[in-house]
């Protein structure tokens, strides 16, 4: 018998798509619509007797249920019989990336970038869900009608659901694993950036950056020999790979900068703009809180003690929400999420005390009432004191006057939704038109300076009168 009935699906036992130590994947058919599917069959006796495998199964289902994008393999159904568990997922008829690369006689850098783009599109959704893949390799990137999709989330880490010590476990495929995992050190979502760098390198050169027969040999090669490039590639591609394959995780490129990299920026401009908008709003909130802390004379160390944050060294979203609402009760959940995501640098869905302290220091927020530092920079003369954001605004004002720009035309140019008001996002774009390097913090302070009635928008009268007034 060549097929097996599993609920509404026909499992084609002679059409094996793949097999691992604990599961087999078969081609199947959804009898209700005649659609081809992939059915992963896992024998219960293997799973129930192994706590690690059971965790992996639960993890895979938990992750796949959250992912709906075009560049991830979608979960369609889950079933159970007396002997087996079944995971029904989207069928990818063209195999995996490893098979695809073997079939290609030659792949240009442009072709490799197209594959990279699909992979990074898939990761946008993973990042939004707080998920680390941890086992990214060509065999786990499936291909369907020339679209590349992230799959096999058995090792994926949905950070919010597991203890931090899981992050120290060794999982995945050694040739694509970050050195932090190989050395059993704590790692973050940047481990996936390392894997992306290895895969992009392999797409171009048809081999991994380092070749080894064992973990110690691989680790020794990574630490001893820098990445080499067998043939010519563009400066942008080379720089991208080197930034991904930085051995020290602190020095490795982060996700936001990755999507801004010149190699791929144009393909992800909309995503980058959304991230910038989110950062600008988070900066705006932190600066509002900063002013509130001064006005209300709030001692954050005392607040921490009330929440007992320092006892466990971690701040959950709920605790941050309590803390920020104590400072400003009008903050919405979405606004607090912006702030939380900006502080949570290692994407563990928990803020450790050092992360919080670093964020406060970066924005010159006092941790304690005894910790008062001047927020002043000097311009020209040490006797003349001017905040940095005012210096930036003065430069922009001078540039507008020098180029004889019309304030009316500038306002209309950046009022993209034509509602006669510049919101924070539009205003930041206006500022960066004249100074692309202006920080989110300075931009948000300038926005507050223009927003005279504090309604979250700048009308033309506010815009004009502020520019015409003396700084």
Please name the fold of domain 3-90: Phosphorylase Kinase; domain 1 (3.30.200)
pLDDT tens, residue order, the chain (471 aa): 678 899 999 999 999 988 776 788 999 999 999 999 999 998 888 788 777 777 777 777 877 787 888 999 998 998 989 999 898 999 999 999 999 999 987 899 999 999 999 999 999 888 877 778 888 999 999 999 999 999 877 655 443 332 333 333 444 468 999 998 888 887 888 899 999 999 999 999 999 999 888 888 899 999 999 999 999 999 999 999 999 999 999 899 988 899 999 999 999 998 888 777 777 777 777 766 666 666 666 666 666 666 655 455 677 888 888 877 876 777 777 778 778 877 876 666 778 766 776 776 666 555 554 443 434 343 443 334 567 788 888 888 888 888 888 899 899 999 988 888 998 778 888 998 888 888 776 777 788 888 877 777 898 988 988 888 744
Which CATH code of 1.10.260.40, 1.10.238.10, 3.30.110.40, 3.40.50.2300 fits the domain covering 272-362? 1.10.238.10
Please name the fold of domain 389-468: Recoverin; domain 1 (1.10.238)
Per the annotation, the verdict on 135 as an active-site residue is yes
CB 24 within 8 A of CB 41: yes
| Architecture category of domain 97-263 in CATH | Orthogonal Bundle (1.10)
How does DSSP assign 359-401, residue by residue? HHHHTT--SSTT------EEESEEEEEE-HHHHHHHHHHHHHH
Task: Confirm whether 272-362 and 389-468 share one CATH topology.
Answer: yes
Q: What Cα–Cα distance (Å) separates residue 362 from each residue in 64, 290, 424?
A: 37, 12, 21
pTM, rounded to two decimals: 0.65
**SS3 at position 59:** helix
Catalytic pick from 135, 192, 442, 451? 135
**Where in the chain are the domains?**
3-90, 97-263, 272-362, 389-468
How does DSSP assign 111-143, residue by residue? HHHHHHHHHHHHHHHHHHTTEE-----GGGEEE
**SS3 at position 290:** helix
Residue 399 among known ligand-binding residues: no
């Amino acid at each position: 018998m060549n097929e097996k009935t599993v609920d509404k699906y026909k499992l084609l036992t002679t059409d094996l798509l793949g097999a691992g130590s604990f599961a087999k994947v078969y081609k199947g058919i959804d009898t209700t619509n005649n659609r081809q599917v992939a059915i992963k069959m896992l024998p219960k006796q293997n799973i129930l007797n192994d706590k690690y495998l059971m965790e992996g199964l639960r993890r895979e289902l938990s992750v796949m249920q959250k992912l709906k994008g075009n560049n991830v393999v979608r979960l369609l159904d889950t079933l159970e019989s007396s002997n087996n568990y079944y995971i029904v997922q989207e069928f990818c008829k063209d195999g995996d990336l490893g098979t695809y690369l073997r079939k290609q006689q030659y792949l240009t850098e442009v072709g490799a970038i197209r594959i990279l783009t699909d992979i990074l599109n898939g990761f946008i959704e993973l990042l939004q869900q707080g998920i680390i893949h941890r086992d990214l390799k060509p065999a786990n990137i499936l291909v369907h009608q020339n679209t590349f999709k992230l799959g096999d989330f058995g090792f994926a880490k949905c950070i919010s659901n597991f203890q931090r010590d899981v992050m120290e476990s060794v999982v995945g495929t050694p040739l694509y694993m970050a050195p932090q995992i190989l050395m059993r050190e704590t790692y973050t979502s940047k481990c996936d950036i390392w894997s992306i760098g290895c895969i992009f390198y392999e797409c171009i050169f048809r081999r991994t950056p380092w070749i080894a027969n064992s973990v110690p040999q691989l680790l020794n090669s990574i630490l001893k020999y820098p990445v080499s490039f067998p043939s010519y590639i563009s400066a942008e591609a080379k720089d991208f790979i080197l930034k991904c394959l930085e051995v020290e995780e602190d020095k490795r490129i982060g996700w936001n900068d990755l999507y801004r990299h010149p190699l791929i920026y144009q393909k992800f401009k909309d995503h980058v703009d959304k991230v910038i908008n989110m950062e600008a709003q988070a900066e705006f909130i932190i600066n509002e809180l900063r002013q509130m802390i001064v006005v209300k004379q709030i001692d954050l160390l005392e607040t921490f003690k009330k929440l007992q944050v320092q006892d466990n060294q971690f701040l959950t979203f709920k605790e941050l929400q309590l803390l920020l609402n104590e400072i400003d009760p009008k903050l919405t959940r979405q606004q607090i999420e912006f702030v939380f995501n900006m502080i949570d640098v290692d994407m563990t869905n928990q803020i450790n005390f050092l992360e919080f302290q670093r964020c406060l220091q970066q924005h010159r927020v006092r941790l304690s009432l005894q910790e008062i530092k001047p927020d002043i920079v000097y311009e020209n003369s040490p006797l003349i004191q001017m905040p940095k954001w005012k210096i930036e605004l003065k430069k922009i004002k001078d540039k507008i006057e020098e180029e004889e720009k019309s304030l009316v035309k500038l306002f209309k140019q950046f009022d993209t939704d034509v509602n006669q008001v510049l919101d924070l996002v539009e205003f930041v774009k206006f500022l960066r038109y004249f100074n692309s390097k202006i920080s989110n913090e300075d931009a948000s302070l300038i926005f507050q300076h223009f927003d005279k009635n504090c309604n979250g928008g700048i009308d033309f009268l506010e815009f004009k009168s502020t520019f015409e007034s003396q700084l």
